[in-house]
Structure 1
Amino acid sequence: MSNNISSNKKGSVVIVGGGIGGMQAALDLANSQFKVHLIQRETSIGGTMVMLDKTFPTGDCSMCMISPKMVEVGRHLNIDLHLRAEVVSVEGQPGDFKIKVKHAPRYVDPDKCTGCGDCEAKCPKRLPNEFEQGLSKRKCIYSLFAQAVPNTRAISAEHCLFLTRGTCKKCEKACKAGAINFEDKEKEIEINAGAVILSPGLDRYDAKVRGELGLGRWKNVVTSLQFERILSASGPYTGVVTRPSDEKHPKKVAWIQCVGSRDPHNANPWCSSVCCMYATKQSIIAKEHDKNIEPTIFYMEMRSFGKDFDKYVERAKNDYGVRYLRSMVSAVKEDPATGDLIMRYADEAGKLIDETFDMVVLSVGLEPHKDAAEFAKTFDIETDPHLFAKTSPLSPVKTSRDGIYVTGTYQGPKDIPDTVMQGSAVAGEAMALLAEARGTETVPKELVPETNVENAKPRIGVFVCHCGTNIASNVNIDEVVAAVKDLPDIAYVTDTIYACAQDNQEIIKKTVKDKELNRVVIASCTPRTHEPLFQDTIRDAGLNKYLFDLSDIREQCSWCHPGQKEESTKKAIQIVKMSIAKSRLQEPIKSEHVGVTPACLIIGGGIAGMTAALSLAEQGFTVHLIEKEDELGGLVRKLNSTLEGNDVQEFLESTIAKVLANELITVHAGTEVVNTDGFVGNFKTTLSDTNVIEHGTIIISTGGVEYKPTEYLSSESNKVITQRELEKRLA
């Protein structure tokens, strides 16, 4: 294996895995003028996050957060999706790899498929729905889920009546677009790319191995991911908390923690990082869905270590009455007459207790895919003893093979925010490697001419979103539509299940053209995540993107007034009417392009600030690094080693040397920021030494300080010290 870097670098990157980490990396790269090839085994991008109902600790709708990213990836000119595909081999060197990709047959032409679903309706073959974790059925010809990107069908060849027996073809007869192709064959292509990013995602521990817990034996024992689908508005029970055996509403629900995690003798030795928090989240959401539910979480230790995570656990206890029991559950039995579950556990005093629950949720841990060893062999990278990609604690996105990087749970168990951050980090590594090839393989987006609406009478189109049942469960959508359809200047009103889904984006675009709309109002969820998506959609239809208004009837109506459907509906109607009134007065705003200063000001010369400075400088950008102390290093100067034993001081000195040697980085030590003026792309900052710096962006990396406690005798006895003080004594 050669680690020599090619002099003929390619301006493209292959990303293996289309979950949230892979998508974040893809968007960062594509928006920075690098061509991206996104390889995904499934028929849609999205990964595991699309299966979740909500995210912790904010309680945001998971699909509402990820759907705009999925649509953006799906329609980005510089991202090519390779679905039902996997990498066969990787040859070459950093900057110039040759990647062979095998495409499995879909038997449906994605260029012809309109996503109408007529074929699916006629298909007679029903199979367990993998996306719904086996809680419902799907057809043999299917779309992975309602908001899939792309929302085109595929056929499960091993179950298709025609492909296995030569009979049926009902899907072909139903398809008006002629998209069905039973002659489809496996294809192999070669991609020439400068770097490879591995983001294959995760697998979940098979809890059936723990037979004493009853998964697969007792119907009302479910995995944590199955419970996510039960909670989800788009799931098999439309968000109604129901137990699978008889579809009754459970009252007592138990969560068993660390199933498959922290168990070196019978399962995996590592902590899966997310289980404590997702169990807490699920118990809160279940209680919000049904106030009669009594949640109990059986745990060994509650590892709520993230920002505000402990507050979230305390909120679960105090506001929702979630019962936390520190105990190992030894067995789960079923009462065959009722389907109820009897759990045997020892309390903290060691007393054995049998308690009956209506439903049990197993918090299963995370682990690499079953084919992780073969996967690593394909890319010629090293793994750790547990088959996660081997990386250094001080360089967690670099694999053992130069030019091949890793992000997300293939590097180790982590939650969604950490995965997203690592996705951006790995994109930065690839950009630094391929800096001189930036823009060599991308194409610019050509916008359609804007429709001239000057002096035109407003023709307003209103789209009211159900958001599955996130909105529709507490707002009467039909009443909202009826209340606004006869208002002046309304040219079109409709409702939609998911306005942000890719197929509905196309419908909105087509409707703008067909109905000659010159204003658009969408009543859905938060503008924080969705406004840019909808603005881009109407711009693609020829409308100025500022002729749009978003009515937030999810956060401002449905979610904040639970159980008050009549009042929520009235409020939603008023909010939509306000948006319509505002839209009548909207005028096109011309976007001006101004030059930007290709320099970055980084405030804080600790390890994070220096790492950011090096990444930017390696991409060719000027950096000004501001440090108020006389030397770089920050808090890391007070640390000796990582948990794994890495020499932190050696790493720090190496990083400082790289910063000082880089001609594009100017270090301003013993300096502070006095004032900053300007706007994005063009700032002017005055420093305490009176220097004025012009720059386009700012990164704030000022670090933190150790809390100085007054409790636990710390201010009274020299025998009570902080961890930082202990670190100093151990040096």
Structure 2
Amino acid sequence: MTDAGRHPRITIHTLSEVVDVNGHVGSFDVRIVKKARYVDETACTACGDCATVCPVVRPDEFNMGLSSRRAIYSPFPQAVPSAYVLNPHECLGNNPTVCTKCLEACEKKCIDFHMSDQTLTERVGTIVVATGLSPFDPRKLDEYGYTRFENVLTSLEFERMVNAGGPTQGELVRPTDRRRPKSVGFVQCVGSRSARRGKSYCSNTCCMNTVKSTLVLKEHYPDMAITVFYIDIRAFGKGFEDLFTRSRRKGTHYVRGLPGNVEPLPDGSLRVAVENTATGRLDYYDLELLVLAVGMEPAPGTQRLQEMLGLQLTSDGFFLEAHPKLQPVDAATRGVFYAGCAEGPKDIKESVTQASAAAVRAIRLMHAGHITAEAITAEVVPELCKACGKCAEVCPYNAISVDVKAKQPARITAAACNGCGTCAAECPFGAIVTHHFTDPQIIDQIDALLEERPEDKILTFACNWCSYAGADYAGVSRLQYPPNARLIRTMCSGRVDDAFIWHAFKKGAPVILVSGCHIGDCHYIDANHWTEKRIQKVRAKMEKRGIRPERLQLEWISAAEGVRFAEVMIRMESLRQSVSAAEIAETVAILTKDREFY
């Protein structure tokens, strides 16, 4: 961090918050609110005289509340900038009748109570999202007695205590009597791997962090009794299994089972009741100190940042990458990248690796000096646009701007457009053209596929990234499915205009399948949500005109679900066989006679 602070081309905004992001790749406008520090960081030498005389004492957040700080303080050792900061919500104020001790003690006159927040705007080409994580709050699990029993600590509090620069200078002591504990227990998966007791996912680092902690304790206190309560130890990294083996050889006792109850003893120790799943017995352990290995949660500002940048979130609340294998650090929004625990729980090594990858991806874009737009981007026909704003509403990348009040035609930023085609499908006036996937091109494909014996065909609209790839996977896997399936590739299921469906039925298609990425896993953020709404409207119209809605099917098929694609096609063939020639003829007659309703 110190090196970054000294770098001439790196600007660090401390005490700052990103409040708005506009623009697109190559030209992002980031609005930042820089909170008042009330200390001139350029003049402050971090001598500490102000903190010495400050009468306000508060818990030190950096040491997890195990030590105290003043209302004016240095956030942590080696903080950048190397200057003190004043918390205005804790300070007694600058009224002379209240307190001005820090102001009087500062020889450099760095303290200024009249400082105010600043709003800055930075124009950047790319953005790296590295929001970090938030530790799970174990107070939700009352059975462990965290905060009720002083000798129950979290793994973060334990880390600060055994750190040489921590509140006890690296000495492990019990909070109740400041005495070194003779026995220590670690509880794994606190807040992880259980939807009822926290989060359903594994937090990745807890197991090996505990193994490392047991080795540290055994090296400093060989006679200390250490017990680890676990579900299973996930030592999957390079050399991790060796560390686990070393921990056991040094005498650490591993118990397969999590405590169900913790009770205090008169001397401040804790009695832990554990069902040992290896022996099937209920065991009791008396421990002088209990450490809870808490899991990871997404950072508090994740949801807000997701809305500002138009990003995707997983079901766990972390940011979703564009592709887990091919683009593991890229966001779906071009020019935005992920690093560290913003994308999911990971250790330091993985975070550094991902940060390096994100930096290289950003450099690759910026080094060219210009942005190359995809050839499949959308374009507005100004003469047809009525400035209704529907296209801007459905665009997942905020690439379309419309001045509805002035009735100005919509404008598409080509660098931000990814060519999903949802805007073209939703435009009620046909004013948007998606290059290489235009309406005439798709209509011509429908005509060609249904030119001969349309009653024998299964017409399928498949999105490029998932369903079309799933069909390809079914083929290379040599899975058997009906040979009369006819696929029309679109970049996204959101491109499937209802006019394509009506035209296909009018040409004699017995059944139609629209397939795309699973909800929440769309390559174009949330474009398939509009697909779902559009299909529901078409089905409602079909039912209103006496056309069987079952003839139009919507399925979500991923690129890895070749088996599912084959199963869906077999089901579609069964449905096709249930459609009689008379029913097809009646549908064609209805659409030919009453084409205005669609």
Asked if Structure 1 and Structure 2 have the same fold, meaning a TM-score greater than 0.5 normalized by the shorter chain, the answer is yes
Q: In 2, distance between residues paired with 1:280 and 1:648?
A: 45
CA distance in 2, matches of 1:299, 1:258: 7
Local SS of the residue matching 1:430: helix
State the aligned residue count. Answer: 380
Give the deviation of 1:399 after TM superposition.
1.3
Q: 1:29-55: CA deviations, max 9, x gaps?
A: xxxxxxxxxxxxxxxxxxxxxxxxxxx
Q: Out of 361, 364, 382, which is 2:291 matched to? A: 361
Q: Deviations over 1:200-238 (max 9, x none)?
A: 100011000001101110000000000001100000100
Residues 151 and 290 in structure 2, CA contact (< 8 A), matched pair in contact too: yes
Amino acid at match of 1:182: F
Q: How far 1:240 sits from its partner (Å)?
A: 0.7
> What TM-score do you get using the length of structure 2 for normalisation?
0.61
Q: CA deviation at 1:374?
A: 1.7
Q: Secondary structure at the match of 2:122?
A: strand
CA shift for structure 1 position 404: 1.1
Q: Of 342, 363, 374, which residue of structure 2 is paired with 1:431?
A: 363
Determine the structure 1 residue equivalent to 2:300.
370
User: Which residue of structure 2 aligns with residue 130 of structure 1?
Assistant: 61
Separation in structure 2 between the aligned mates of residue 237 and residue 646 of structure 1, nearest angstrom: 58
| Other-structure match for 1:346 | 275
Gaps of 5+ in 1: 1-69, 439-644, 654-730
Tell me, in whole angstroms, the C-alpha distance in 2 between the residues paired with 1:260 and 1:79: 37
Deviations 1:352-398 (A, max 9, x none): 11210000000000110233212212222121122211112122211
Change (3 A) 1:338 1:424: same
Instruction: Report the CA distance between 1:156 and its aligned residue.
Output: 1.1
Residue of structure 1 equivalent to 2:396? none
Displacement of 1:349: 1.9
Higher relative contact order (CA 8 A, sep 6+): 1
1:417-450 deviation line (CA, Å, top 9, x unaligned): 0000000000011011111349xxxxxxxxxxxx
- The change in CA–CA distance for 1:214 and 1:146 in structure 2 (over 3 A counts) is same
Please give the per-residue CA displacement for 1:254-276, whole angstroms capped at 9, x wherever unaligned. Answer: 00000000002231000000000
Deviations 1:238-289 (A, max 9, x none): 0011111111100110000000000022310000000000001111112222
Contact between 1:253 and 1:357, CA under 8 Å: does it hold in 2?
Answer: yes
* Equivalent of 2:116 in 182, 185, 203: 185
- Divergent runs of 4+, >3 A: 163-166, 645-650
CA contact (8 A) 1:158 1:164 kept: no
Q: Pairwise CA RMSD of aligned residues?
A: 2.6
Q: Deviations over 1:54-86 (max 9, x none)?
A: xxxxxxxxxxxxxxxx22111111111100001
Alignment of structure 1 residues 628-647 onto 2, 5 Å: none
CA contact (8 A) 1:95 1:434 kept: yes
Q: Which amino acid aligns with 2:133?
A: L
Output aligned runs, 1:47-58, within 5 Å: none
Deviation of 1:165 after TM superposition, in Å, equals: 10
Q: Which residue of 1 aligns with 2:131?
A: 200
Pair 1:417 & 2:346 matched: no
- Tell me the equivalent position of 1:85: 16
- 2:311 and 2:284 mapped to 1: Cα distance? 49
- C-alpha distance after superposition, 1:80-113 (max 9, x if no partner): 1100001111111101111001101111110111
Which protein has the larger Cα radius of gyration, Structure 1 or Structure 2?
2
- Distance in structure 2 (CA, Å) of the matches to 1:164 and 1:323: 59
Aligned counterpart, 1:380 = 310
Whether contact under 8 Å (2:37, 2:115) holds in the other structure is yes
Q: Tell me if the contact between 2:50 and 2:105 (Cα under 8 Å) persists in the aligned partners.
A: yes
Is the 1:241–1:289 Cα contact (8 Å) retained in structure 2?
Answer: no
Q: Which moved more, 1:420-429 or 1:378-387?
A: 378-387
Q: CA deviation at 1:296?
A: 0.9
Residues 1:396 and 2:325 aligned together: no
Amino acid at match of 2:64: Q
> Counterpart in 2 of 1:263?
194
Aligned twin of 2:222: 291
Secondary structure of the corresponding residue to residue 200 of structure 1: coil
Q: How does 1:715-730 map to 2 (within 5 A)?
A: none
Paired residue secondary structure (1:157) = coil
Code of the aligned partner of 2:275: A
The one-letter code sitting in structure 2 at the alignment partner of 1:430 is A
Q: Is the 8 A contact 2:133 2:341 kept in 1?
A: yes
Would you say the 8 A contact 2:94–2:100 is kept in 1?
no
Give the letter aligned to residue 267 of structure 2: T
Is the Cα contact below 8 Å between 2:201 and 2:316 reproduced in 1?
no
Distance in 2 between the 1:160 and 1:288 partners? 43
Q: Is residue 240–residue 289 contact of structure 1 (8 Å, CA) maintained in 2?
A: no
1:322/1:194 CA distance change after superposition, 3 Å? same
Q: Distance in 1 between matches of 2:281 and 2:214?
A: 26
Q: Is the 2:54–2:102 Cα contact (8 Å) retained in structure 1?
A: yes
**Structure 1 residue identity aligned to 2:311:** I
Taking every aligned residue pair, what percent have the same amino acid on both sides? 35
Residues 646 and 284 of structure 1: CA distance in aligned 2, closer, same or farther (over 3 Å) = farther
Q: Quick one: distance in 1 between partners of 2:17 and 2:223? A: 47
Pairwise CA distance, 1:649? 9.2
Shift of 1:648: 13
Question: Does the 8 Å contact 2:261/2:272 carry over to 1?
Answer: yes
Q: In the superposition, relative to structure 1, how do residues 649 and 331 fare at CA in structure 2: closer, same or farther (>3 Å)?
A: farther
Q: Tell me the CA shift for residue 147 of structure 1.
A: 2.3
- In structure 1, C-alpha distance between the alignment counterparts of 2:147 and 2:158, rounded to whole Å: 14
Q: Distance in 2 between matches of 1:144 and 1:80?
A: 19
Conservation of the 8 A alpha-carbon contact between 1:241 and 1:290:
no
Q: SS state of the match for residue 127, structure 2?
A: strand
SS at match of 2:356: helix
Task: Kindly provide the amino acid, as one letter, of the partner of residue 270 in structure 2.
Answer: L
Once the 2 structures are TM-superposed, how far is the Cα of residue 146 of structure 1 from its aligned partner? 2.2
Corresponding residue of 1:146 = 77
Distance 2:301 2:15 in 1: 16
In structure 2, what is the Cα distance between the partners aligned to 1:646 and 1:219? 56
Contact 2:339-2:358 within 8 A present in 1 as well: yes
Unaligned 5+ segments in structure 2 are: 371-467, 477-565, 567-598
Distance (Å, rounded) in 2 between the aligned partners of 1:240 and 1:306 = 29
What is the CA–CA distance in structure 1 between the aligned matches of 2:316 and 2:163, rounded to whole Å? Answer: 32
**One of 134, 157, 161 as aligned partner of 2:88:** 157
Q: What secondary structure is seen at the aligned counterpart in 2 of 1:311?
A: helix
Aligned partners of 2:269 and 2:104: how far apart in 1?
Answer: 47
- The answer on whether the counterparts of 1:157 and 1:164 sit within 8 Å (CA) in structure 2 is no
Question: Residues 338 and 434 (structure 1 numbering): CA distance in 2 closer, same or farther, change over 3 Å?
Answer: same
Name the residue aligned to 2:259.
Answer: 329
Match of 2:150 in 1: 219
Distance 1:81 1:431 in 2: 19
Deviation at 1:164, TM superposition (A): 9.3
The one-letter code sitting in structure 2 at the alignment partner of 1:389 is F
Decide which of 184, 187, 190 is 1:253's aligned counterpart.
184
Give the Cα–Cα distance (whole angstroms) in 1 for the partners of residues 353 and 472 of structure 2. 25
Amino acid aligned to 2:61: E
Q: Is the 8 A contact 1:257 1:298 kept in 2?
A: yes
